[in-house]
Amino acid sequence: MHKRIRTPFGSLHIAASEKGISALSLDNPNLSPPRRRGPNYKLDSRLRGNDNGMALKWIRTAESSLRRYFKGDSRAVRRIPLDIKGTVFQKKVWQALKQIPAGKTRSYAAIAKCIGHPKAFRAVGTACGANPVALVIPCHRAVGSGQSLGGFAWGIQKKKKLLRLENLP
């Protein structure tokens, strides 16, 4: 099941299963969707045709939480239930990203060191790019060395806007 909502950042697609949110995708005119977002990203017919009441509940929960997030409550998305898949490494990176407080950033290298793979900073960036639920797992808080913004699947301008929303320059 999925739903599209309007946000200050553009159209946002929310997909859910009976277990939780499986994908969030902001429209980005510079990308052809879906792209590099992991195994649960596709808004496929299995999700669209699902009339499961729990999936609808998770979408409504996510929609409410995301609206609060876009109004400046960065903690609102922390309790959104997720149903995502990834490798063991990706899950470690995603868990580390969830530990970065709003208003803070961490370098890819610092995240790599935190998860016990100090030389895997590029793989951390790849795991960020495979994150199917950006915003809930805040990959926009991962930056390059010297605080360069690095990359972002939804575009650097949206990354800058998200960081400003969380009171970062």
Catalytically active residues are 139
Q: Evaluate whether 82 touches 94 at the Cβ level (below 8 Å).
A: no
d(CA 30, CA 136): 22
Considering only CA atoms, give the Rg of the chain. Answer: 15
d(CA 98, CA 139): 8
Q: Which residues pair with 12 in a beta bridge?
A: 5, 26
Place of tokens 């100090």: 118
Identify each DSSP E strand in the chain by its residue range: 2-7, 10-16, 21-26, 106-107, 142-143
Q: DSSP alpha helices (H): ranges in 99-155?
A: 108-114, 121-129
d(CA 29, CA 59): 24
d(CA 60, CA 167): 27
